Amino acid sequence: MIQESELPEPEATRRDTDVTESSRASRGWWDRNADEYQRDHGAFLGDDRFVWGPEGLDEAHAALLGPAAELKGKDVLEIGAGAAQCSRWLAAQGARPVALDLSHRQLQHALRIGAEGLGLVQADAEALPFADASFDLACSAYGALPFVADPVQVLREVRRVLRPGGRFVFSVTHPIRWAFPDEPGPEGLSVAASYFDRTPYVEQDEQGRAVYVEHHRTIGDRVRDVVAAGFRLVDLVEPEWPAWNSQEWGGWSPLRGNLIPGTAIFVCVRDE
């Protein structure tokens, strides 16, 4: 079997990419890189914590899904769940979580850590395999939305499977980060690209096939996407970098986190 380290380095570029290519690239990348992701970040995420992003904002304190005491008995869908750390925390509160992810290997890590009290589903967030109005709440910590070419389709799907009154909370890379190099040090503090350039970030192999994709939406685009899907936006949280967190995560670092936001969390409600 060919190891990832033996493959030629992919070329990083900005170019258009569609729904199919983005989805295929994400599935392949997360299947190949799930082991390394869990090795590098598993300790910070914790097996049964609910962390919204590299700042370390914890749902136990933030209560963006509502008071923890009210989660008991709730049907909750986690989108892009990875190893289902957030779902495990939800289960511990008495909720009934379903952890959904595109990547088989990420879900194998969920099984390795433990899937008691969880549903695990392998599917693409753009076509959710659930009946209408199946869930009370939905959440996503950096799952799916940064990687899909059609975020409105994902949001529409999430709205469809939520019951009226249901809430969807999702975090993504803060859009302002797209204007800066993705570096944790001082070189990551100078604007190097237009914030308004929505051209996706693509890593491609020697044949020009995408092997990793991220899609940029400005803050205004994200608000319009949420509204276009039929949600009401009730909060937009920009977690500040806390003094206790000395850990770097890719381009997220205490240095940059103290100056510019790194994560945006959208709190959305399906009214009817």
Ligand X SMILES: C[S@@+](CC[C@H](N)C(=O)[O-])C[C@H]1O[C@@H](n2cnc3c(N)ncnc32)[C@H](O)[C@@H]1O
By the criterion CB under 6 A, which residues form the site for ligand X? 23, 26, 30, 45, 80-82, 101-103, 106, 124-126, 141-144, 147-148
Nearer to ligand X, 69 or 90 (CB): 90
What's the closest the beta carbon of residue 186 comes to ligand X, in angstroms?
A: 25
What's the closest the beta carbon of residue 182 comes to ligand X, in angstroms?
A: 14
Nearer to ligand X, 34 or 71 (CB): 34
What's the closest the beta carbon of residue 158 comes to ligand X, in angstroms?
A: 11
User: What's the rounded Cα separation, in Å, for the pair 166 and 221?
Assistant: 22
User: What's the rounded Cα separation, in Å, for the pair 172 and 54?
Assistant: 11
User: What's the rounded Cα separation, in Å, for the pair 199 and 193?
Assistant: 11
Nearest to 53 by CA among 259, 242, 243, 268: 242
| CB neighbour list of residue 170: distance below 8 Å, 6 or more residues apart | 79, 139, 140, 141, 143, 145, 265, 266, 268
Nearer to ligand X, 35 or 187 (CB): 35
What's the closest the beta carbon of residue 30 comes to ligand X, in angstroms?
A: 3
What's the closest the beta carbon of residue 272 comes to ligand X, in angstroms?
A: 26
DSSP per-residue string spanning 30-58: HHHHHHHHHHHHHHHH-TT--B-STT--B
Nearer to ligand X, 46 or 181 (CB): 46
Nearer to ligand X, 51 or 268 (CB): 51
Nearer to ligand X, 59 or 126 (CB): 126
Nearest to 175 by CA among 234, 125, 216: 216
What's the closest the beta carbon of residue 171 comes to ligand X, in angstroms?
A: 8
What's the closest the beta carbon of residue 263 comes to ligand X, in angstroms?
A: 11
Tokens of 270: 């399906």
Half-sphere exposure at residue 32, Cβ-oriented, CA atoms within 13 angstroms:
15
CA distances, 124 to each of 23, 106, 143, 167, 199 (Å): 8, 13, 11, 20, 22
Nearer to ligand X, 111 or 189 (CB): 111
